Amino acid sequence: MKIIGVDLGGTFVKIGLVDSLTGKILKKSEIETKVDLGGDTVVKRISDEIKRLTENENYEAVGIGSPGSIDKENGIVKFSPNFPDWNNFPLGPKLSELINKKVYVENDANSFALGEKWFGAGKGKEHIIALTLGTGVGGGIISHNFLITGSTGIGGELGHVIINPNGPLCGCGNYGCLEAYASATAIVRMAKERRKKFPNSLIFQNENISAKVVFDAAKQNDRLALIIRDEVVEALAVAITGFIHTFNPEVIIIGGGVSKAGNILFEPLRKRVDELVMPSFKNTYEILQSPLVENAGILGAASIVLQRENL
Amino acid sequence: MKIIGVDLGGTFVKIGLVDSLTGKILKKSEIETKVDLGGDTVVKRISDEIKRLTENENYEAVGIGSPGSIDKENGIVKFSPNFPDWNNFPLGPKLSELINKKVYVENDANSFALGEKWFGAGKGKEHIIALTLGTGVGGGIISHNFLITGSTGIGGELGHVIINPNGPLCGCGNYGCLEAYASATAIVRMAKERRKKFPNSLIFQNENISAKVVFDAAKQNDRLALIIRDEVVEALAVAITGFIHTFNPEVIIIGGGVSKAGNILFEPLRKRVDELVMPSFKNTYEILQSPLVENAGILGAASIVLQRENL
C-alpha cells in the first residue's frame, strides 16, 4: 500500500510517497511553506504538490505531521507557534476536499514516535518514549501500543517536564524544563553564556555556534564543550529516568538535530540512566538514536495513517 | 453484582464485600497479615476470612491490591518490600484454588487509581493520575481509560520521578525524588532535621511526630510547619505539572495519610500548579482529595475486577 506523508514545517513542507510495507520513500519532494500567504494557500500548494507527485500513482491516504496542538479527531490545528494565524484551522478537511482522499493530522512529535514504531528503532515495540531534540524538545509516548495524547489531545509535552526547579529559564516561562537543557537552543545558549570564561574554546572558532559545533568540539576534548555535554547528559538522564519509572518503556528513542551527536552523547547518557534507574527497571529498556534521520518527518507522517487505520 | 476486595498490607489485611453498582461495602473485616507465618498461611488465612464473610452470600470474583511488583497476567507477586520472602509468589492462583473463584491481583497504588475511577473522584473519567502519599509515594495512571503499567508491568512509579537532582536522598538511592519530599516519612524527616533551629515549634510538643502533627501545627500558623508545608507543596506542584504536561489528565487525585491534611495542603497546591502549567493546559484538569479515605484499599481492590472484566 502507498501512503503520502506530509512533514509540515514552519519553513518547508516535505512530502513523500511511502511504501507502507517497507517504509521506503518512493518519491519525495520539498516545497516552501510560505506561511505568510495564509492557510488556504498553504493547503492549496500542498495539494498541488501531492497531485504532481502522485500522477499515475494510486495511494491510500495522507498523514500530516504538524507542529502545535491538534484536534486529531477532526484534523484541526487548534493553534501552533509556527503558524500564528492558524486558530482552529481545519487543515485535514481542507486538504481532503482538494485531493479527495482521507487525511489524518497529528502533532509532529507524536508522529515522530509513530514513525519510529512503524519504520524505525521502535519496530515491533508497544512501549516507546520518543524525544526530538531540535529547536525545542518534543515528546511522543506510545504505551501499551497506544499513542498517549490525553484528555484534550495535548499531552506528551515531555520537553516541559521540570527536571530542576533551580535550573535555567525555559521559553515556556518555567525554570528548569528539559527543553532548557537539551534543545539545540539551550546548548547554544550554554556555550555563549560561558564565552568569557572559556574564550579559547574550539566552539568560538566558528562564526555560527550550533549544537553540532559544540558536539564536534567535545569530540576533540574541548573543555567547555565537554562541560556542556555533561550538563545535557545529566538533564536528559534525570528526565529519562522519570519516564522509565513512569512508563516502563521498552525503548527510548532520541531524534532531532542534537541526536546526530551520536556516541559522544549516547554513551554517557546510557551509563548515567543505568545508574539512576531503580534496580527493578534495570535492563528493561534501551536508549537508541533515531535511525530515520532526514526521513523521520515523512515516515512519521505516513505512519499516522497506519496507526489510525490500525493496519 | 458483588465482589470481594482484599487490601493486602504488611500488617493488616482488609477484606470487604462490595456492591459493584453502588460501591457500597456490604460487609467488612480486618485480620492480621502475619507475614512471618509464610505465604501459604497468609493465603489460607485470607481464604478462611473470605469464606466466613461470604457465608450465604454469592459473589463474582476477588480483587487483591498488593504492595510490590505484580505479574498481573498470572496473579504473581514478583517481589514486594513488604513481603521479603515472596519471590514470584503465585498469590492469585493459590487463593483461587482455595475459594474456587477468579482472583485478580494488582499493585496497590494502581488499584487505588482504579478505585477512584470506579467509585471515587475519578468516576466517569478516562484520564486519571492518582498519588498516594503515605510511608512512601505511590502512583497509578489511567490514560485513555487504560491502566498504564508498561512493558514489564512495573510502571507508574510516580514517587520516584526526580524533581530536583540537588534534593534530599530518597530511600531508592537517588536524590530529589518526589517521595523524598511528599511522603509522610519525608515530612517527619524535614521536621526532625530542623528541631535545633525551631525548638519552640508546636510540632515538638508532640511525642510522636507525624505528618498529621505537622499539618495540624501548620493550621495554627506554626512557622516551621508552614515552611515544611510549602516545601511539600512546591515538590508536589513541580511533579504534578510534569504529569499534566505528560498525560494531559482530567483529574489528579491525591490520597494516603498525608492527603488528610486537606485544604492547608490542597489550596496552595492548586494555586502553584496553576502558575506552573503551560497556558494550553490551564483549566484542563482538577486536583482533588481522595474521597474514599479508609475504604480506598478495599474499593480499589474490588475495582480491579471491574477493570479487568471491563464491566
Helix axes A108-119, A296-309, angle to 10 degrees: 80
Q: Is the pLDDT of residue A310 over 80?
A: no
Of B152, B163, B248, the CB nearest to A155: B248
DSSP B60: -
ipTM of the complex: 0.94
Q: Is the pLDDT of residue A178 over 70?
A: yes
Q: Which residue of B has its CA nearest to A163?
A: B163
Q: What is the pLDDT of residues B87-99, one digit of tens each?
A: 899 999 999 999 9
Residue A311 banded pLDDT, cuts 50, 70, 90: low
CB–CB contact A246 B126 (8 Å): no
CB–CB contact A246 B163 (8 Å): no
CB–CB contact B246 A157 (8 Å): yes
Task: Tell me what pLDDT residue B311 has.
Answer: 57
Contact list in B for residue A141 (CB cut-off 8 A) is 246
Return the number of other C-beta atoms located less than 10 Å from residue A174's C-beta: 22
CA distances from B174 to A165, A175, A241, B120 (A): 17, 21, 10, 33
CB–CB contact A143 B150 (8 Å): yes
CA distances from B151 to A145, A284, B126, B265 (A): 10, 8, 21, 34
Q: Which residue of A has its CA nearest to B164?
A: A164
Say if residues B171 and B184 touch (Cβ distance below 8 Å): no
Task: Tell me what pLDDT residue B271 has.
Answer: 98
Contact list in A for residue B155 (CB cut-off 8 A) is 143, 245-248
Q: Domains (ranges, CATH) in chain B?
A: 2-114+295-309 (3.30.420.40), 124-291 (3.30.420.40)
Contact list in B for residue A162 (CB cut-off 8 A) is 163, 238, 241-242, 276
Low-confidence ranges of chain B (pLDDT < 50): none
CA neighbor of B230 nearest in space, from B284, B272, B258, B192: B272
Task: Tell me what pLDDT residue B69 has.
Answer: 86
Q: Which residue in B145, B157, B284 has the most chain A C-beta atoms within 10 A of its own C-beta, making it the best mutation to test that interface? A: B157
Helices (H) and strands (E) in chain A, counts: 9, 12
Q: Which residue of B has its CA nearest to A272?
A: B174
Q: What is the pTM of this model?
A: 0.94
d(Cα A9, Cα A30) in Å, to the nearest integer? 11
Q: Give the residues across from A103 on adjacent strands.
A: A62
Contact list in B for residue A72 (CB cut-off 8 A) is none
Q: Give the residues across from B181 on adjacent strands.
A: none
Q: What is the pLDDT of residues A207-264, one digit of tens each?
A: 999 999 999 999 999 999 999 999 999 999 999 999 999 999 999 999 999 999 999 9
Helix axes B108-119, B296-309, angle to 10 degrees: 80
Q: Which residue in B143, B175, B178, B285 has the most chain A C-beta atoms within 10 A of its own C-beta, making it the best mutation to test that interface? A: B143
Q: Is the pLDDT of residue A35 over 80?
A: yes
d(Cα B49, Cα B53) in Å, to the nearest integer? 6
Q: Is B29 left (phi over 0), alpha (psi -120 to 50) or beta?
A: beta
Q: Which residue of B has its CA nearest to A171?
A: B278
DSSP A89: B
Q: How near does any CA of chain A get to the CA of B212, in Å?
A: 27
Q: What phi and psi, each to the nearest 5 degrees, are found at residue B261?
A: -55, -30
DSSP B170: P
CB–CB contact B149 A248 (8 Å): yes
Strands A12-19 and A24-32: antiparallel
Q: Is the pLDDT of residue A200 over 60?
A: yes
Collapsing DSSP to helix, strand or coil, A239 comes out as helix
CB pairs under 8 A between A and B: 132
Say if residues A79 and A69 touch (Cβ distance below 8 Å): yes
Q: Which residue in B161, B166, B273 has the most chain A C-beta atoms within 10 A of its own C-beta, making it the best mutation to test that interface? A: B161
Say if residues B205 and B225 touch (Cβ distance below 8 Å): no
Mean pLDDT, all residues of chain A: 95
Strands A61-66 and A102-107: parallel
Per-residue burial over B41-58, b if 16 or more Cβ lie within 10 Å, else e, is ebbebbbebbeebbeeee
Q: Which residue of A has its CA nearest to B167?
A: A164
- A171: contact with B, CB 8 A cutoff: no
CB–CB contact B161 A127 (8 Å): no
Residue A19 banded pLDDT, cuts 50, 70, 90: very high
Percent of chain A past pLDDT 70, that is, above it, reads 100
Question: What are the grid coordinates assigned to A42, written together?
Answer: 498553504
Residue A89 banded pLDDT, cuts 50, 70, 90: very high
- A248: contact with B, CB 8 A cutoff: yes
Task: Tell me what pLDDT residue A201 has.
Answer: 98
Q: Which residue in A77, A117, A129, A151 has the most chain B C-beta atoms within 10 A of its own C-beta, making it the best mutation to test that interface? A: A151
Say if residues B264 and B134 touch (Cβ distance below 8 Å): no
Q: Give the residues across from A24 on adjacent strands.
A: A19
Task: Tell me what pLDDT residue B224 has.
Answer: 98
Return the number of other C-beta atoms located less than 10 Å from residue B9's C-beta: 17
Long-range contacts of B86-94, Cβ-Cβ distance < 8 Å, separation of 24 or more: B86/B39, B89/B39, B91/B39, B91/B43, B91/B64, B91/B66, B92/B64, B94/B39, B94/B40, B94/B43
Contact list in A for residue B157 (CB cut-off 8 A) is 245-246, 278
Q: Which residue of A has its CA nearest to B278?
A: A172
Collapsing DSSP to helix, strand or coil, B38 comes out as coil
Collapsing DSSP to helix, strand or coil, A78 comes out as strand
Strand stretches in B47-92, DSSP E: 61-66, 69-71, 76-79
Contact list in B for residue A179 (CB cut-off 8 A) is none
Contact list in B for residue A246 (CB cut-off 8 A) is 139, 141, 148, 155-158, 161, 246
Q: Which residue of B has its CA nearest to A244?
A: B155
Q: Which residue of B has its CA nearest to A156?
A: B246
